[in-house]
Structure 1
Amino acid sequence: MKTITILATAAVAAIATPAFAQDSNNHDVTLTVQGTTPPKCNIAADDSTIILTGYDLTDGQGKVRADVDQKVATALSGLQLKAWCNGARNGVAVSRSALITGNGNAANGFNQAIVYDLNVLIEGATRDGAAFFDGTSDGPANGPGIGAGSGIAVPAFGPTGQGSKISFVTEPGTSVAAVSNGQGGAEVSRAAFNGFENNAARMVAGTYSGTVTLTLTPN
C-alpha cells in the first residue's frame, strides 16, 4: 500500500509542475526585411557666374592671354563646389564652350572667341583607381563612366557632409587660342575648333562669356 501511495503522490506533483519549460516543439521564425537605395548623385551648388576682372582675357597688345585657362580654373575652384555619388559605377563629364562676344565669329579681321580647356578633379574620387578625372577637350557627354568613357569605373565618392571638394586645373597638352569661329557658344570638343584658330589677330573689345558644365550620372 505504501508503494501505491508514493506513486500517486509523485503523479500529482508532476501534474502540478509546469511542463512548457521542457517543451521540445518551440519554433523560431526569421522574417527578412529588404529595401533598396537607388544610385544617386548630387552637386552642392546652384548655377553660378564668375567674373574675370580687369584685363584677364587679353594682354597689352589686345591679343589673347596664354593663361586664360588658369584664370578660369582658379575662379571656378574658388566656388568651393562639392559633390557625391553613391553608385558603384558613376559617370563624370565636364565640358565648356568658347568665351565669345557677339556671335563668336571673326569680324573685320578681329577675333570674337577664345577657346581653352580644363580638367575637373574630385577629392577622393577615382577612375579605374587613378585620381585624374575628366577634361573639357573631349566635349560634352564624354568622360569616365559616360559616353566614350562608359567602360571606366568611377566608384562611390563623397560619403559625408555635402560631399567631396571639386577643383579645376588646366588640361595638360592644350593651349589657349583665339578662334575665328566660336561654334555659336555651344559646348563642343576641342577638335570642333580645328582650322579656326588664329592667334595672330587681336580680340575685339567687348564682354565675353561662356559656360562650363559638370555632369554627374549615377549608375
Structure 2
Amino acid sequence: MPPTFDTAQHVRTAAAQPDCLSDVFYELTTRVNRDSPQDGVRLGVLLSAVGRRSYGPLLLVIGLFAISPATILPGMTSVAAAVTLLVATQMAFGMKRPWLPRRVLELRVPRGPFVAFVDRARPHVERVEGDLIRPRLEVLTRGPFAALVALCVVLAALVTFPLSIIPFGPLLPGLAVVLFGIGMTARDGVLTSLGVGFTIAALWLAVPFIAHAFAG
C-alpha cells in the first residue's frame, strides 16, 4: 500500500494561513519558484502555499488548476477532477484536515501556464475583493451548509469526467469549484450559492453523456 501524506504535516513549515482571498493569490505568486529549471511545480508546493486550516483555499487552488491552461495537456483534467474528488469527499465526511497520498502531492502542474494564469487573475481579485467578494450570508459557508458544499464539489468532480470529452466541457464544473473555494475562503455565502447553480448547470450538461453511456 503506497504511503499517504497528511497535508497538514506537509505544510507545517509553510507561511501562516492566508486570512483573505488576496492573501491566497499573494502566496501562490510569491512562493512558487518561477526560475526553476523543472517544467512542473509539485502540487504539494501549491497546497503548502495556501496553508492548512481550511478547505476553502485548497479547493480554490485545485479549481484554479482545473480551469487554467495547464489542463490543455492530456490527462490533466482527469487528474484535477480526481484530486478534487478526494479532497471534497474528506470534507463531506467532516475531516478537519485533509490528507493526500504522497504520490498525489508529487504530481507536477505545468509551471508556466499555471503561474501566468495566477498572475493575470491576481490583480482582478484584489480589485473586486471587498466590493464583490466579502463576508455575507456566512451561515451558508459553515455547519450543514459546508457539508452541502462538499457534496456539490463531489458532484462537480464526478461530472467533469464525462464532460472532458467535449471542448471546454470541464470549464463549468471547474468554475463551480472555484466559486466554492472563493466562497469558503472569503466566507461569502452568495458565491457558494452561485457555485451550487454552476454545479446544477454542469450536471444538466453532463446528463446526455451519462445517459448515453448507460444506454450503450
- Fold similarity call, TM over 0.5: no
Structure-2-length-normalised TM-score: 0.28
Query: In proportion to residue count, which structure has more strand?
Result: 1
Structure index of larger Rg? 1
Structure-1-length-normalised TM-score: 0.27
